[in-house]
């Protein structure tokens, strides 16, 4: 029997995961989400942190096994879109794109902010494309296979193979894009930093560099598990009288498949033995496509994101500034006047980023949440050395 993997010092450390973003890394702990980005203008690292209120609170229905996997996927999709949007603003390499007349009209009719409407439209388009690529096309192929092969099980297996082939072709095609290749390098930096954190080592470039760019709980492995498990699951439980009933059954059963796949991924990440390593091997190998070896400047960014997500102080002065900011964010009693900001840090400018860096150029909504921490002494931004 395998034993749960417990890294040194893990008793007091919650699980922290993340994702690569535009020229940076996002790290997410149970109570906060941190984004670190190396800005295009001055190559300094900017950090944004916001508190989180997990929807799947312990003891609630949403925290039940299988259900929590569906909740985690939906939350990851929402946070992922918000994070990419935020990292693009933090990067500051180009002028902000103005919303279209339709987006402004829709925001006015819905009573929402324009940027929220833009993100919602982007999510909707992404979902439609995903359904079309990974469900509609395989369902059409499965119906054709059933018409020429008098074997339901084999036809369903071939449909799953088509779905898996489309997924792999998609990964290989986007991996050829220069911008995506850099994102994959930051993905490797995120994995190395998470490994270092889970082994309770000091978060330094030297300590992070020695770890693998592959991680057993990676989202890439989760997607592969969903693909493989769905082949077996839909073969047994799917309805396939016509292509549209086949498609409908896949979509209706997808939350259950995702929930079961989430539990499988968590189990594979918590245990270590020969059998688990065999089951983990396909997902680990797929990460060779989506995670590349980072350079030291990328590890520096990932480390800053990890420290912010874990609530670790950078330096004594920085930690005091964050605690003061948190106290200012705390709700004030009705009979007590709100705390005044220190004179040397006016509220309308925000703190400086980096040694001698300019004020934080991000949107006012993000600045009201938490100010970034200064990160002096960061190295210049070399090109990624990934092949």
The residues spanned by each domain of the chain are: 10-310
Question: What are 319-333's pLDDT values in tens digits?
Answer: 444 545 555 555 554
- Are 5 and 275 within 8 A, CB to CB? no
164: Cβ contacts below 8 Å, ≥ 6 apart: 227, 228, 231
Asked if pLDDT for residue 368 goes beyond 90, the answer is no
- Provide the token pair at 274: 């020969």
Average pLDDT over residues 164-177: 91
Lowest mean pLDDT among 23-32, 65-74, 96-105, 255-264: 96-105
Locate tokens 């500051």: which residue? Answer: 92
Give 11's DSSP letter.
G
pLDDT value of residue 373:
39
Question: What are 37-63's pLDDT values in tens digits?
Answer: 999 888 899 999 989 877 666 667 777
Regarding pTM above 0.95, the answer is no
From residue 271, alpha-carbon distances to 53, 69, 128 in Å are: 28, 18, 36
**Element at 288 (helix H, strand E):** helix 274-290
- Are 56 and 62 within 8 A, CB to CB? yes
Lowest mean pLDDT among 20-24, 177-181, 367-371: 367-371
Lowest mean pLDDT among 140-154, 251-265, 365-379: 365-379
pLDDT value of residue 329:
53
CB neighbourhood size of 99 (10 A): 16
pLDDT class for 224, splitting at 50, 70, 90? confident
Query: Could you tell me which of 220, 364, 225, 380 has the C-alpha nearest to residue 288?
Result: 220
d(CA 98, CA 121): 15
């Amino acid at each position: 029997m395998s034993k749960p993997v417990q890294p040194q010092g893990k008793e007091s450390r919650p699980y922290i995961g993340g994702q690569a973003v535009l020229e940076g890394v996002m790290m997410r702990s149970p109570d906060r989400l941190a984004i670190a980005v190396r800005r295009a203008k001055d190559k300094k690292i900017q950090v944004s942190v916001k508190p989180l209120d997990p929807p799947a609170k312990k003891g609630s229905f949403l925290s039940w096994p299988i259900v929590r996997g569906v909740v985690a996927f939906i939350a990851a999709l929402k946070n992922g879109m918000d994070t990419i949007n935020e990292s693009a603003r933090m990067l500051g390499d180009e002028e902000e794109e103005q919303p279209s007349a339709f987006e402004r009209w829709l925001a006015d009719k819905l009573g929402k902010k324009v940027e929220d409407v833009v993100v919602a439209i982007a999510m909707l388009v992404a979902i439609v494309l995903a359904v079309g690529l990974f469900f509609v096309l395989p369902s059409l192929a499965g119906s054709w296979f059933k018409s020429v092969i008098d074997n339901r099980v084999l036809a369903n297996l071939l449909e799953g193979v088509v779905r898996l082939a489309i997924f792999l072709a998609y990964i290989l095609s986007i991996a050829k894009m220069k911008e995506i290749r850099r994102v994959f390098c930051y993905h490797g930096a995120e994995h190395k930093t998470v490994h270092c954190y889970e082994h309770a080592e000091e978060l330094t470039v030297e300590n992070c560099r020695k770890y693998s760019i592959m991680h057993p709980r990676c989202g890439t492995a989760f997607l592969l598990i969903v693909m493989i498990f769905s082949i077996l699951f839909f073969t047994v439980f799917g309805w396939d009288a016509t292509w549209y009933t086949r498609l409908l059954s896949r979509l209706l059963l997808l939350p259950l498949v995702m929930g079961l796949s989430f539990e499988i991924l968590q189990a594979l990440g918590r245990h270590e033995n020969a059998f688990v390593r065999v089951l983990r091997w396909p997902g680990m190998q797929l990460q060779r496509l989506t995670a590349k070896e980072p350079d030291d400047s990328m590890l520096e960014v990932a480390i800053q994101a990890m420290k912010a997500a874990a609530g670790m102080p950078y330096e004594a002065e920085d930690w005091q500034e964050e605690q003061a900011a948190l106290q200012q964010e705390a709700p004030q009693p009705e009979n007590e006047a709100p705390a005044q900001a220190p004179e040397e840090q006016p509220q309308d400018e925000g703190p400086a980023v980096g040694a001698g860096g300019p004020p934080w150029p991000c949107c006012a909504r993000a600045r009201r949440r938490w100010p970034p921490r200064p990160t002096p002494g960061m190295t210049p931004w070399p090109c990624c050395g990934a092949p």
